[in-house]
A and B are shown apart, each in its own frame.
Chain A
Amino acid sequence: MKPEIAMNQSEMTIVKKESQKLKRWKAFYKKFKRNKLALIGGYIVLFYILVAIFAPIISPQDPFKIDLVNKLQTPSFDHWMGTDDKGRDILSRLIYGSRLSLTVGFVSVFFGAAIGIILGLLAGYYGKWMDTIIMRIVDVLLAFPGILLALAIISALGPSLINVMVAVGVFSIPMFARIVRGSTLSVRKLEYIDAIRALGATDVTIIMKHIFPNILSPVIVQATLRLATAILSAAGLSYLGLGAQPPSPEWGAMLSSGRDYLFSAPHIALFPGIAISTLVLGFNIFGDGLRDALDPRMKK
């Protein structure tokens, strides 16, 4: 008889009562809570989301109001973060800018994830030539260094925030496709899939009921981390003038004028950068925490 480490009485009764799924969620939440840093990340992201939602209410001034008399002012009582080269209040612009950054992030990642998941599922499930073709496409997309693909797309479609969303979305596809393909492949190989196929389950059912739930956790982790990258890329593209156009209060675009006035009014460059950094930091920490909590291999 193979002996196992026995649980004491109280543990045994609890186990009998709780269902498997609930146990998993509890374990996950406990692990996640232990990683306090991850919680902080979550709060940061939440903070920005709330700022974005309530922007009109909390913004002290109109972000578009030009006031040339007061331009390039350093932080003061009237303007907590100073004014930019057209006299607009930087703090208000930052607040409204959060909407843009978050929107670009979520839309592009959602777009990239959706397509990536579909491609990954198809490639992993059907295999053979569909796998080869899809993976070649992914390889091609990955063959472009960094944001070059995004640049190319924007050069064709023209500079605008929407095109940035498309461009960043497209360049997010490969990562999701790969991850989903990997997970799909490993689930596909499990014997029970063959068993239910033999029982007559359709492909669609199998994919939706059995494979999809298994790919969710790595996808969510990847999505959170991708949000960080997407926001950085979008800000970068706007910085280059290829994204949101003036007078849009997009953070990257604000940094662009920040460069022009770096010597005379460095605060213009300082604050948008801090905003971007903290939001991205929030997503990164949160994503790290999610990954640690969901990864069964991790043992602290």
Chain B
Amino acid sequence: MLLFIIRRILQTIPVLLGVSLVVFLIMQMVPGDPATLLAGEGATKQTIEMLRHELGLDRPIIYQYFDYVFHAIQGDFGESLRNNRPVLDEIMIRLPITLQLALASILITVVLGMIAGIISATKQYSMADISIMIIALLGISLPSFWFGLMLIYFFSVNLHIFPVAGWGTIQHMILPAITLGAGGAAIVARMTRSSMLEVVRQDYIRTARAKGLKEHIIIYKHGLKNALIPVITVVGLQFGALLGGTVLTESVFAINGLGRLIVDAIRTRDLPMVQGGVLIASVIFVFMNLAVDVLYRYFNKRIDLN
């Protein structure tokens, strides 16, 4: 087990390098020369050349890449082109907010999703099951940002229950968390349902019945634990969609988080900020995946060994 963890951690290193490389290369694709842009209009060729040298743009690309990584590891992601503040600082202010949003959303995804899935599976083909499955289907089809807008309209504008935008209190968190978490909840619900239905067909459930156990003990004690194993994978995959989804949700609800920061940076062509933001978000995601993998392996070693 420990060996597996170490191996997995080692595996993330090339991935992280790859991510940084991809981000770096993508930034290189930006048309136009950063030095020229930075120098502004009417700058002389000399000024531009000096700027290029200063920015290290006249050195070979590989060198620039390693330079970037070297600095990044130390926390230096350059400075925002918009306000010249260090990229890392700007990100760090906003990251906690995004993480809170992500956490609240995961809670909704997992709790709501699992409960819905279990109800659906245990009452297969009932009204409850069919409605839950229809809602789940809608859940994966609605654009999250539209869903958010509709929620704002009905709850904030019409009913005045929740604030329209911003962040700070629990009330601020509810609508965005629902918006972000609903899609994932739908996927988890469907997965839980199908997993439970499959588990219930297994031989060991028949054995449990032959022992004279009550039906609900059979389902919840014997069935559920087995059924939730594949659900863990799905939840893990949802982290990605969630982190990515913060971009849209934060825009809709005007939340000052990392997602919105990245989007604004793209709009204003603040490339160091985009680079830093995407990189940091991806690194966090890679470690989240690592954690999920380890967790899954822990629960799954009995099936692996078979």
Given a CB threshold of 8 Å, the question of whether A touches B is answered with yes
**B-side interface residues, number (CB < 8 Å):** 53
CB-CB < 8 A to A269: which residues of B? 146, 149-150, 153
Q: A140-B15, A242-B266, A259-B149 are in contact. Are A281 and B247 (CB under 8 A)?
A: no
**B89 vs chain A, min Cβ distance (A):** 20
List residues 141-163 of chain A with CB under 8 A from any CB of chain B.
141-149, 151-159
Q: Mark A278-294, 1 if CB is under 8 A from B, else 0.
A: 10110011000000000
**B199 vs chain A, min Cβ distance (A):** 15
Residue in chain B with minimal CB distance to A274:
B146
Cβ-Cβ contact count across A and B, 8 Å cutoff: 154
Residue in chain B with minimal CB distance to A263:
B157
CB-CB < 8 A to A157: which residues of B? 29-30
Q: Mark B135-172, 1 if CB is under 8 A from A, else 0.
A: 00110111111100110110001000000000000000
Say yes or no: is A247 at the interface (Cβ < 8 Å to chain B): no
Residue in chain A with minimal CB distance to B286:
A143
Give the distance in Å from the alpha carbon of A258 to the alpha carbon of B149 in the complex.
9
Question: Are B141 and A280 interface neighbours, CB within 8 A?
Answer: yes
Question: Are A139 and B18 interface neighbours, CB within 8 A?
Answer: yes
Question: Are A152 and B18 interface neighbours, CB within 8 A?
Answer: no
Question: Are A147 and B244 interface neighbours, CB within 8 A?
Answer: yes
CB-CB < 8 A to B286: which residues of A? 143
Q: Mark A255-280, 1 if CB is under 8 A from B, else 0.
A: 10011001100100110110011101
**A-side interface residues, number (CB < 8 Å):** 48
Name, among B16, B269, B278, the residue most crowded by chain A CB atoms within 10 Å (CB to CB): B278
CB-CB < 8 A to A285: which residues of B? 137
Question: Are A156 and B157 interface neighbours, CB within 8 A?
Answer: no
CB-CB < 8 A to B200: which residues of A? none
| A146 in complex: contacting residue of B30, B137, B240, B269, CB < 8 Å | B240
Give the distance in Å from the alpha carbon of A252 to the alpha carbon of B243 in the complex.
20
Question: Are A152 and B23 interface neighbours, CB within 8 A?
Answer: yes
**A226 vs chain B, min Cβ distance (A):** 13
CB-CB < 8 A to A259: which residues of B? 149, 252
CB-CB < 8 A to B262: which residues of A? 148, 151
**B78 vs chain A, min Cβ distance (A):** 15
Say yes or no: is A123 at the interface (Cβ < 8 Å to chain B): no
Question: Are A139 and B15 interface neighbours, CB within 8 A?
Answer: yes
**A85 vs chain B, min Cβ distance (A):** 15
| B142 in complex: contacting residue of A146, A240, A270, A273, CB < 8 Å | A273
Question: Are A140 and B137 interface neighbours, CB within 8 A?
Answer: no
Say yes or no: is B196 at the interface (Cβ < 8 Å to chain A): no
Q: Is the interface of B mostly helix, strand, loop or mixed?
A: helix
Say yes or no: is A176 at the interface (Cβ < 8 Å to chain B): no
Question: Are A143 and B266 interface neighbours, CB within 8 A?
Answer: no
CB-CB < 8 A to B23: which residues of A? 152
Question: Are B145 and A143 interface neighbours, CB within 8 A?
Answer: no
Say yes or no: is A32 at the interface (Cβ < 8 Å to chain B): no
Give the distance in Å from the alpha carbon of A92 to the alpha carbon of B71 in the complex.
52
| B266 in complex: contacting residue of A141, A151, A228, A235, CB < 8 Å | A151
Say yes or no: is A232 at the interface (Cβ < 8 Å to chain B): yes
Residue in chain A with minimal CB distance to B263:
A240
| A262 in complex: contacting residue of B28, B157, B289, CB < 8 Å | B157
Give the distance in Å from the alpha carbon of A179 to the alpha carbon of B104 in the complex.
32
Residue in chain A with minimal CB distance to B27:
A156
| A277 in complex: contacting residue of B143, B152, B266, B274, CB < 8 Å | B143
Question: Are A255 and B146 interface neighbours, CB within 8 A?
Answer: yes
Question: Are B239 and A140 interface neighbours, CB within 8 A?
Answer: no
Chain B residues in the interface with A (C-beta under 8 A):
14-16, 18-19, 21-23, 26-31, 137-138, 140-146, 149-150, 152-153, 157, 239-245, 247-248, 251-252, 262-263, 265-267, 269, 271, 274, 278, 281-282, 285-286, 289
Chain A residues in the interface with B (C-beta under 8 A):
136-137, 139-149, 151-159, 228, 232, 235-236, 239-242, 252, 255, 258-259, 262-263, 266, 269-270, 272-273, 276-278, 280-281, 284-285
Can you report 29 A-B residue pairs in the complex whose CB atoms are below 8 A from each other? Answer: A136-B15, A136-B18, A139-B18, A143-B15, A143-B16, A144-B22, A145-B240, A145-B282, A146-B242, A147-B244, A148-B247, A152-B278, A153-B26, A155-B265, A155-B266, A155-B269, A156-B26, A157-B29, A232-B143, A236-B144, A236-B145, A241-B267, A259-B149, A263-B153, A277-B142, A277-B143, A281-B137, A284-B140, A285-B137
Further contacts, 18 of them, CB under 8 A, given A151-B262, A273-B146, A280-B143: A136-B18, A141-B22, A144-B240, A146-B243, A146-B245, A147-B244, A149-B278, A156-B26, A158-B31, A239-B145, A240-B251, A242-B263, A255-B143, A258-B149, A259-B252, A262-B149, A277-B143, A284-B141
